[in-house]
Structure 1
């Protein structure tokens, strides 16, 4: 099998983004553009990926980690110069190299694989990924001869009126015979108005040597767009979100209003899930069958079971079991484990807490750093007082305990199995099994108090 390599061009600063954030790190559907590109390349089982970095090199390396090797392009002297920076890794090696820009987040592994397969099957030395667009203004045109072979790529400013009418454009993604690529890059000149070394010049060099130059035209022009400013970024977001939503709907997920539903690229959803409008589902979230999400719910990095309802709530980095009800207006913070048949109602906040099967906190409570057993009832206004100003402490509530309304449980504290805590109590000591704990001052009524008060005034 032919060796396959990839070079990702990610060195440009992206001045048109007008941002402190390095261009290829701007997110599309919650994931940096360059991560989208590398994720697609990783599915192709390449021998090596080399990413060319420049401005913000450290931040790109932090994002991609060991998924790729890196070369720093100190000066941005054009695409040809950028690819040549990878010569220490690739020069002289036989095989196929695909060159792709880090600001093309919509490219799919299917298209890249088809590009490489055609390149190798027709034994081309260079293959250009092209597409037809309605308005090609600003793009390099692909000019073919009478037999349909690529004759040249001409830039807009150099194109004749006939050439400008051509709708087929150069997308900036290429396949090369690797050995020819690095030999040809040594011959590329910067004798042009920009004083830069252009990668497309390799096509002319190969053609002059009698080598075969081909083109692979993708019918999906939306895949090929590059993101250079915030307008293009928003367009890419819209297109990718639409692609993701359609994939889920075709797999059996009901999305009531796709235009008002935001699902990340790494989300997994089983059939017969219903997603109501205004929902945002991000990160590596998984959702089990027959669950209903929304309306207006945000999930991030969660595992959600089957037949669960989460509406108008936020759940982050937590596990939620099956047959659970959450919301409206609940907040499940990181490291929470909500087991099967739990009910969490309106204005309940849960943080780093394990709630076992059948427990419920129906309204207006805070459960932080706690462990609740099975069938625990948490009344309205209950607070686990977990923070003493320096450290967080744990509250343990065992199976079947009943916590009355407006109780403060001062951690560390344990409410043992079947115990009751009276409403309005502030609990500072452990409560024994099946005991009733009352920790409030005795009520005293002052008869005639208001009349005496009025006389004084």
Structure 2
């Protein structure tokens, strides 16, 4: 049977002191809840249901981009057991292996979830609980076992007697697997007879055992992946752990980092061998970086494709494609579908938007190129601009191959400059320029000899 995952994301997270739901706070480049949906997906879940509540619209709006995720709202928040029951009733899930995960547990690994679901998927158990033994179990629910090693019940910290709190050391971090048929059949038997007067999902252990069904415990040694987020200090700590995990993997694959503590890489980013990531580099989203590149310092790329042998210094890129042997920066901004072809150069204080920069072309400094198709071998002088917006519409500029554009040139779109043309500095191009032509537009230079000293004498007389 296909595997399903239910992710509990209805809580407010009051300790975050935020207007936003806890699961929407970002760890590296994505909200907490998306780390959990990603882990469930990679573990094999074909259907993912997220239970929303506080800030439901914000969570729904974010998850709308994850096409295999559906949301169910828990309008009354009466505990974890109630949240799962709401999900089962709303979706009709009643068969197959089922994961139940917390939306604020971002570091759990897909392999761990596959181990957790295995006792249920093979038919040997009605449920399985992920467990580990921390040095200090304070705050965690405790697992009680029978002689055969099966879980008898989970006792929440608030409901533990002093003897149970001291003697039971195996803890429940909140990761569960169930046979959906058995869960749906018996979840209505949960009660609120506990310290919080809520429906605890942990009580399903006792319920299932009451029907002579087995509940397995799956042990793990890596406590880091079981950690949850309750406040901003914990969010920072888990961010550091995720950063270390990703950076160590990249370095083991042949990526160099001068200082791994100052490099942040999202979980879906790929980086090629012999690439160097310098301090204060951030790689987010679906970014891919090729081999033998040098990225940084002070560079941020989001959803970018970067080929081999590229150097990006102090560059911000969002949704752009950069071909091999490109150099860029320092202090460059590429965005909105910009495409920089092989061997091109984008220099200091340059912005490129929705434009193609041709092979070997150069936009060295202090220029804005927007909505432009540029050919190969073009040189754009400093301070030049494609004037692409007329107040209502964006218009395109087309520049042919081997064009030379002098400094401080305004190209008022829509306009075309033909192959091999020359545009003199300080020109304002408002009409198409033919190939191999010289375009020169500027006022005639006027020189008035001795004017400066005569003006100064006049000002002195006026003051007297």
Into which bin does the TM-score normalised by the smaller protein fall?
A: over 0.9
Deviates more, 1:50-59 or 1:95-104: 50-59
Q: Which residue is equivalent to 1:251?
A: 253
* Contact 1:91–1:178 under 8 Å retained in 2: no
Q: Which residue is equivalent to 2:206?
A: 204
Deviation at 1:173, TM superposition (A): 1.0
Rate the CA distance shift 1:345–1:81 in 2: closer, same or farther, 3 A. same
What does 1:394-413 align with in structure 2 at a 5 Å threshold? 394-413=396-415
Deviation at 1:264, TM superposition (A): 1.0
Q: Which residue is equivalent to 1:93?
A: 94
Deviations 1:127-164 (A, max 9, x none): 11112222221111223355544343222233344533
TM-score (norm 1): 0.94
Equivalents in 2 of 1:386, 1:176: separation in Å? Answer: 58
* Contact 2:281–2:298 under 8 Å retained in 1: yes
What does 1:46-445 align with in structure 2 at a 5 Å threshold? 46-65=45-64, 66-88=67-89, 93-121=94-122, 123-145=124-146, 147-165=148-166, 166-445=168-447
Equivalents in 2 of 1:22, 1:185: separation in Å? Answer: 27
Equivalents in 2 of 1:414, 1:48: separation in Å? Answer: 52
Aligned CA-pair RMSD: 1.9
Structure 2 segments unaligned to the other structure (5+ residues) = none
* Contact 1:91–1:179 under 8 Å retained in 2: no
- Secondary structure, in 3 states, of the residue corresponding to 1:43? helix
Q: Which residue is equivalent to 1:5?
A: 4
- Secondary structure, in 3 states, of the residue corresponding to 1:219? coil
* Contact 2:132–2:171 under 8 Å retained in 1: yes
* Contact 1:140–1:169 under 8 Å retained in 2: yes
Equivalents in 1 of 2:402, 2:44: separation in Å? Answer: 53
Equivalents in 2 of 1:387, 1:126: separation in Å? Answer: 61
* Contact 1:53–1:72 under 8 Å retained in 2: yes
Deviation at 1:393, TM superposition (A): 2.0
- Secondary structure, in 3 states, of the residue corresponding to 2:237? helix
The count of residues paired between Structure 1 and Structure 2 equals 456
Rate the CA distance shift 1:144–1:260 in 2: closer, same or farther, 3 A. same
Structure 1 segments unaligned to the other structure (5+ residues) = none
Deviation at 1:216, TM superposition (A): 0.5
* Contact 1:264–1:282 under 8 Å retained in 2: yes
Deviates more, 1:18-27 or 1:153-162: 153-162
- Secondary structure, in 3 states, of the residue corresponding to 2:99? strand
Equivalents in 1 of 2:131, 2:313: separation in Å? Answer: 45
* Contact 1:143–1:163 under 8 Å retained in 2: no
* Contact 2:319–2:335 under 8 Å retained in 1: yes
Equivalents in 2 of 1:17, 1:437: separation in Å? Answer: 61
Equivalents in 2 of 1:128, 1:28: separation in Å? Answer: 26
